[in-house]
């Protein structure tokens, strides 16, 4: 009679209800110490209209202890939602060094994002964060980082950009290529202004078509990228944006000689639990919510073709 006690149980400790603080979120009690389904209650403190359909929300945790102890890795995400409507996954777009608030940038598109866009100052929201894996910024020390982004893709890379800028001396170079359909569709204009003033960041902004008063580049991101002709030598390439832009950007990276190990992107999927349990956000054996959303191209090649 075959009996196989197989599984993750083999040799690994299994938690019991006694290990978990009842009624505490994971932000309060740690990833394995709390209830991962329980959001922290947050208050909307600031709303910035980035573009006609993108708003940035700055929230504070109502629990001051959580606000004080909260930290995240660049590239990590959170489940931000409205009680009564639902939650969605968003990249945390505040600086990792920011202690006063947590920030998400939200494009109005569906059920949850529309409800989020109806939030006013002082309203309550739920946050479950941080989740997912971030970008391996430690391993990238000493390298040049090339960020290539379009539209709302900037949100996925914002925290990482800020982190690498804050730790500028640790990186050989920072280049940012940011494309939008039109001048009013750039997010984080206020931060872009600061980046433009620095001489230790290589910043290229581009819009799709000529426009009166536009001083920077014109052209689709992949074309501009190839014009820039960045060297793959000691460089990490990261891209995020609309699917069609990612597709062509990845092709351009390949053309420019970037290897799969040097190229990174973020995936998105329909998500519900955000903690790798409900089963739906998988690409093959990997869950985008916990094994991602950051993936290198080398990792993606191992996965079944079902993006």
Which of positions 251-280 make contact with other proteins (CB under 8 A)? 251, 260, 268-270, 272-273, 275-280
Q: Is residue 169 near other proteins by the rule CB under 8 A? A: no
Residue 203 near residue 211 (C-beta atoms within 8 A)? no
Q: Binding to other proteins (CB under 8 A): which residues in 189-248?
A: 243-244, 246-247
H or E stretch covering 36: none
Position among 49, 65, 99, 124 found at the interface with other proteins (CB under 8 A): 124
Q: How many Å apart are CA 21 and CA 44, to the nearest integer?
A: 27
CA distances to 1, 12, 89, 131, 291 from 8, rounded to whole Å, are: 22, 7, 27, 21, 16
Per-residue b/e over 220-258, b at no fewer than 16 CB within 10 Å? bbbebbbebebebeebbbbbbbeeebbebbbebbeebeb
H or E stretch covering 133: none
Q: Binding to other proteins (CB under 8 A): which residues in 9-48?
A: 9-10, 12-17, 19-20, 22-23, 26, 31-32, 35-39, 41
In angstroms, how far is the first alpha carbon of the chain from the final one?
41
Segment contacting other proteins by CB under 8 A, of 45-53, 107-115, 132-140, 156-164: 107-115
CA distances to 62, 64, 96, 210, 271 from 31, rounded to whole Å, are: 19, 19, 18, 49, 19
Q: Is residue 304 near other proteins by the rule CB under 8 A? A: yes
- Find the shortest distance in angstroms from Cβ 92 to other proteins: 18
Q: Is 183 left (phi over 0), alpha (psi -120 to 50) or beta?
A: alpha
Q: Is residue 302 near other proteins by the rule CB under 8 A? A: yes
Give the residue with the Cβ less far from other proteins, 3 or 199.
3
- Find the shortest distance in angstroms from Cβ 186 to other proteins: 21
Position among 47, 86, 191, 232 found at the interface with other proteins (CB under 8 A): 86
What six digits make up the tokens of 47? Answer: 């709303």
Position among 63, 98, 123, 170 found at the interface with other proteins (CB under 8 A): 123
Position among 83, 168, 189, 259 found at the interface with other proteins (CB under 8 A): 83
Give the residue with the Cβ less far from other proteins, 168 or 301.
301
Position among 75, 126, 222, 230 found at the interface with other proteins (CB under 8 A): 126
């Amino acid at each position: 009679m075959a009996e196989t006690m197989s599984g993750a149980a083999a040799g690994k400790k299994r938690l019991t209800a006694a290990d978990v603080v009842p009624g505490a979120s994971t932000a309060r009690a740690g990833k394995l110490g709390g209830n991962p389904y329980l959001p922290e209650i947050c208050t909307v403190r600031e709303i910035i209209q980035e573009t006609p359909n993108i708003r940035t929300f700055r929230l504070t945790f109502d629990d001051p202890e959580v606000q004080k102890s909260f930290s995240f890795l660049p590239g990590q995400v959170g489940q931000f939602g409205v009680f009564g409507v639902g939650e969605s996954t968003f990249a945390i777009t505040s600086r990792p060094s920011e202690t006063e608030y947590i920030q998400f940038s939200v494009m109005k598109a569906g059920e949850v994002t529309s409800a989020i866009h109806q939030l006013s100052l002082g309203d309550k929201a739920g946050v479950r964060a941080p989740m997912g894996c971030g970008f391996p910024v430690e391993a990238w020390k000493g390298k040049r980082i090339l960020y290539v982004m379009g539209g709302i893709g900037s949100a996925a890379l914002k925290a990482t950009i800020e982190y690498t800028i804050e730790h500028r001396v640790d990186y050989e170079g920072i280049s940012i290529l940011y494309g939008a359909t039109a001048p009013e569709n750039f997010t984080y204009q206020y931060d872009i202004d600061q980046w433009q003033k620095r001489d230790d960041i290589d910043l290229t902004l581009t819009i799709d078509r000529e426009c009166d008063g536009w001083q920077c580049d014109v052209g689709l991101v992949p074309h501009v990228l190839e014009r820039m002709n960045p060297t793959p030598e000691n460089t990490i390439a990261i891209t995020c944006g609309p699917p069609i832009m990612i597709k062509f950007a990845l092709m351009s990276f390949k053309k420019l000689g970037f290897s799969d190990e040097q190229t990174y992107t973020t995936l998105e999927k329909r998500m519900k639990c955000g903690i790798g349990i409900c089963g739906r956000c998988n690409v093959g054996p990997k869950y985008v919510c916990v094994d991602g959303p950051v993936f290198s191209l080398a990792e993606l090649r191992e996965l079944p073709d079902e993006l």
